[in-house]
Structure 1
Amino acid sequence: MKINAPNKNIPELVSFNILAMGCQIQVNLNITSLSLLCSKIEIEQHTALLASDVQQKLTYWEHIFSRFDDSSELMRLNNHTDQWRDVSAELFEVLQRAIQFVPKTQGLVTPTLLQSLWAAGYKHSFETLPKLSMPTVPVIDPSATLNINSTAKESFQDTPVVNYDNQNIERIQLRRLADGQYQVYLPAGMALDLNGYVKGWCAMQLAEYISQIHDWQIPCLVDMGGDIAIGMPKHQGTDVAITPIAWGVAIAKPYIIDSKQKQVHDDEDVAILKIRSGAVATSGQDYRRWWYDGRWQHHLIHPHYSRPVTSDVLTATVLATDTMTAEVYAKYCVMLGLKAAMAWLNKNHIAALLIDFDNKVMATSALDPYLVKPNLIASIGA
């Protein structure tokens, strides 16, 4: 995704970028009201201070949630199973919410898949993983690389291999003690990966901090590598939100693999959305891919098979009230596959856009009010 200025009555915007938590983070601030009160120099100084504040928060959260740092709080928990462990309020909250999503997604989106990610070669940060395949691998083709239409017995998902005892989310226990301390019991043999949940959680935390807690309390849009949260200030001393501005969000074409086995990206947009509140997130098989064990791998693990999912959904974009929900439901759509995902989305009146391996774009009817250029969509409400 990329951020566009609204088409009409364009407000004064300022933005800054931070590289953290394995992704590029862009914070966009609507300074229209500030520009009437502060000089340009004052705004630049305060923006720099805010950027520093945001960086500190991200660094703090990274020390909690990173699965690439054995000293992080998450990895200390993973390395000390079968016992109660003290945890921070942040880890407790994210894990609790992640667990709540498991039954909502039929168990397909679960935080208990770290070992499967390791088995797929995702042991180090994504930017360090090999992105080029062997010369014999063809241009990306769902039937060849992901066995989507294959009936061969060697298909990735012919035989479940998961150890369900290690994936049973009900075996995780959480409690808060009388003194306010949070604790988690992680069963032996289980390891957590909270990365996807954390991106959404952090995006929303930052948006709410900037728009409702920080001294400025101004409208903002936070983009954490495609997980987008909109922050809306409230009238001081009340719980009534001020009139929100419209933010333009462009949904770009998915990444593809070209004839030279390089990952490339078409700058053309498949849709442009206008949103005033809430969040939007995209998940898919196109970008976070790497070459390991003789095949392309990606980060969306099917819990029944402990392997990257086989799906005809290349990417899914979902709108929701908060970014973690949007992120989880976008993953769920990829897991379900095109037909089942569209049925589930329309049944629950969820605004979403799916792209298949033929680059066909389909949107739910609930997305229609957010579309700036609906003519770009091949099918709406299918």
Structure 2
Amino acid sequence: MQYSAIAIDQQIAILTSDIQQRLTHWEHTFNRFDETSELMRLNHHTDQWRQVSAELFEVLQRAIHFVSKTQGLVTPTLLKDLWNAGYKHSFETLPKVSVPPLPVISSNLNVNLNTNTNLQDTSITNASKLDHQHIERIQLCQLADGQHQVYLPAGMALDLNGYVKGWCAMQLAEHISRVHDWQFPCLVDMGGDMAIGIPRAQIDKPMTWGVAVAKPYVANSEHVQEEDIAILKLSSGAVATSGQDYRRWWHEGRWQHHLIHPRYSCSVNSDVLTATVLATDTMTAEVYAKYCVLLGVTEAMAWLNKHHIAALLIDTNNKVLMTSAMRPNLVQPNLLHPDLIPG
């Protein structure tokens, strides 16, 4: 079917307005920097049952689900630890008094293509002790009339930001590609968390999207250099990157970042600088990417390969490590190192 340029522009304008309204609504629901948001009202009314929206209920339910899948390392109960690290306001307003002491990755990259055969299936040390703030004490209830309620224990405060980015990306992709009248194929980017939308009535072969994996953020006093580590080809699912490289700030005489280790209640000291993970949905990709940073290189690569997850890690020694499952998704492997990609 052919559409006029005017009709196309009208549909895009309607869709754009719809998306902006959804984002504004979700901002009022999940923003932890806004004391009037639904999330912060819940955080300020603990030790009692509170009615919440279906959106907050769904994201919190999924966040709790991931706690056991990540051995307690990725948990939504870290808001107070983020406050203690100085992350009380939007990142753009936090003090950055000097350049973060991060390694510069050279153009001559050393790539290690790990496979299941050369990795040990190591276990997480004392993983059973990482039941941060007793996550099981959070109670969720869906009433017969469709209302949703949450009981948050006294002293607990939630941060859902990372989960929400992935959730929003997938929600928008589904809406644009399957709910909207025209059902556009799309790629939605929510700050590095990307979701691909495929129309239900897709007749032709799904569109393939090229997604660049950027070199970790390295700043100097004059400019920020942007280079690509790899380019991925994706026709479905989602991709997300998490790391210690960008979201950093200066607090109490040291650099802090937003990836908190729940055992120590402070920014993790990991040899994984960034992790990029592919998954069927964006929240899963986001959680697993964060999990890899918290685990460290050795355990992360073992876990990823054991579960056949496509991922690319960059460690603090400037080495790029890639799971065997990631190789089919590379569109330009020569960006890594042509001699190290097996035939």
Q: Distance in 2 between matches of 1:355 and 1:167?
A: 31
Equivalent positions of 1:138-157 (< 5 A) are: 139-140=101-102
Please state whether the residue corresponding to 1:346 is helix, strand or coil: helix
Q: Which amino acid aligns with 1:247?
A: W
Deviation at 1:376, TM superposition (A): 2.6
1:77 aligns with 2:42: yes
Deviation at 1:138, TM superposition (A): 7.5
Deviation at 1:265, TM superposition (A): 3.5
Q: Distance in 2 between matches of 1:311 and 1:303?
A: 13
Equivalent positions of 1:174-323 (< 5 A) are: 174-235=140-201, 243-258=205-220, 260=221, 265-323=224-282
1:168 aligns with 2:119: no
Aligned to 2:283: 324
Deviation at 1:380, TM superposition (A): 6.6
Shift of the 245–123 alpha-carbon distance from structure 1 to 2, 3 Å rule, reads same
Q: Which amino acid aligns with 1:252?
A: A
Q: RMSD across aligned C-alpha pairs, in angstroms?
A: 2.1
Aligned length: 317
| Shift >6 Å, 4+ stretches | 163-166
1:42 aligns with 2:7: yes
Please state whether the residue corresponding to 2:218 is helix, strand or coil: strand
Deviation at 1:256, TM superposition (A): 1.5
Q: Which amino acid aligns with 1:221?
A: L
Please state whether the residue corresponding to 1:255 is helix, strand or coil: coil
Deviation at 1:266, TM superposition (A): 2.6
Please state whether the residue corresponding to 1:52 is helix, strand or coil: helix
Please state whether the residue corresponding to 1:254 is helix, strand or coil: coil
Aligned to 2:120: none
Deviation at 1:41, TM superposition (A): 2.8
Q: Which amino acid aligns with 2:205?
A: T
1:363 aligns with 2:322: yes
Q: Which amino acid aligns with 1:38?
A: Y
Superposed CA deviations along residues 239-271 of structure 1, whole A, max 9, x for unmatched, are: x7753110000111011243x4x7x54322100
Please state whether the residue corresponding to 1:50 is helix, strand or coil: helix
Q: Is the 1:252–1:266 contact (alpha carbons within 8 Å) kept by the matching residues of 2?
A: no
* TM-score, structure 2 as length reference: 0.88
Shift of the 165–317 alpha-carbon distance from structure 1 to 2, 3 Å rule, reads closer
Q: Distance in 2 between matches of 1:90 and 1:218?
A: 24
Q: Distance in 2 between matches of 1:243 and 1:374?
A: 23
Superposed CA deviations along residues 60-91 of structure 1, whole A, max 9, x for unmatched, are: 01111010111111000000000000000000
Q: Is the 2:209–2:233 contact (alpha carbons within 8 Å) kept by the matching residues of 1?
A: yes
Shift of the 334–47 alpha-carbon distance from structure 1 to 2, 3 Å rule, reads same
Deviation at 1:215, TM superposition (A): 0.9
Q: Which amino acid aligns with 2:5?
A: K
Q: Is the 1:283–1:327 contact (alpha carbons within 8 Å) kept by the matching residues of 2?
A: yes
Deviation at 1:139, TM superposition (A): 4.0
Aligned to 2:111: none
Task: Identify the match of residue 300 of structure 2 among 312, 316, 341.
Answer: 341
Superposed CA deviations along residues 44-75 of structure 1, whole A, max 9, x for unmatched, are: 22212211110000000111101011111100
Deviation at 1:194, TM superposition (A): 0.1
Aligned to 1:122: 87
Please state whether the residue corresponding to 1:203 is helix, strand or coil: helix
Q: Distance in 2 between matches of 1:93 and 1:170?
A: 16
Shift of the 41–324 alpha-carbon distance from structure 1 to 2, 3 Å rule, reads same
Q: Is the 1:254–1:265 contact (alpha carbons within 8 Å) kept by the matching residues of 2?
A: no
Percent identity of paired positions between Structure 1 and Structure 2: 73
Q: Which amino acid aligns with 1:104?
A: K
Please state whether the residue corresponding to 2:21 is helix, strand or coil: helix
Q: Distance in 1 between matches of 2:207 and 2:69?
A: 32
